[in-house]
Amino acid sequence: MIKETLNGKTLDDIYQLISTYGFNLFHAALIAKNIYRKRITDISQFHGIPRQLHKILTSVTSAGIFLPVHSEVSTDNTIKYLFRNDEEKQFETVYIPDKKRNTVCVSTQSGCRMGCPFCVTGKYGFYGNLSAGEIVNQIISIPDASKVTHVVFMGMGEPMDNLENVLKACRIITAEWGMAISSRNITVSTVGITRSIKSFLEQTECNLAISLFSPFADERIRVIPVEKKYPVHEIIDLLKNYPVRKKRRFSIAYVMIENVNDTNMHLDELKAMLGGSKIRVNLLPYHPGKDDPHTSSSNERMLYFKHNLVISGISASVRRSRGADISAACGLLATGLKKEF
């Protein structure tokens, strides 16, 4: 008998499962709390539920929480975890501790099918979508789960290519019956799939980040192939005109590569593209993979971009890299993973 997993279910899902046995929404909330807050892997150890419900759950369900199979620790204390699901699909997760915030960077797919040549994950190939439970598991199964304050969907895969499971995971992470992390502390990153972005904006209050690479369409299309079908200028216009609550953030992730996208021409086009909007620009160093001849823009150049964006009225920041020495930094996930299981 294949048991249903509780991790990945919403409150309504759990209620539908147990209501046929005469249990109510209150009991469903207790089960959710044991999974998402207490992170209990053994159903027999669930707190506060009736003995009969214990027996039923044990016979027809499993907690669905599974541990990483490997981990690496960076010199800056960033930790990269490797997970492997029942289908032998591999995916990586990064825990980034800091003084005031502890962030988990989760994957949404095993590999990715967007085909961006500067991204190691894209070169790894695509092996399938992750379920909502597998996404949430990357947070609740790690040793520092209780310390997590922020979650970013910036690991392996394209979140908008797995929208249904991403939205369900966001709901579990932010719900009071779930992990109860504020939506203002959740950011989902995408290269830009317009129809999915529209659904995302309508169905969640989580933050959205667009991976840009270049403000010029002819350059972007060579590195981010979905530009051909979903032009980023249309997505930027959508975000500019979208009504947002005060603390929801839209941002641009701009990975800076020396002599590729860090010229004054690129800076001027960025200012023209984002002028008059509340979209923030996060400037990121580039991390070349094996045999990649490109290098990151200098810190001075990145600060120059930031300064000029800010004085033109565009919010901008330079983000420091974490975990590069263990291939946990932006664009490096899947480094060293085998392509055959």
Annotated catalytic residues are: 92, 330
Handedness of CA 34, 23, 180, 204 (dihedral sign): positive
Burial of 232 (0-12, 13-18, 19+ CB in 10 A): buried
DSSP secondary structure, 283-320, as one string:
EEE----TT----BPPHHHHHHHHHHHHHTT--EEEPP
Residues near 6 by beta carbon (within 8 Å), at least 6 away in sequence: 14, 31, 35, 43, 57, 61, 62, 63, 64
Q: Are strands 207-211 and 186-190 parallel, antiparallel or unpaired?
A: parallel
- Structure token digits, residue 54: 């214990």
- Structure token digits, residue 286: 């580039």
Residue at token pair 């941002």: 251
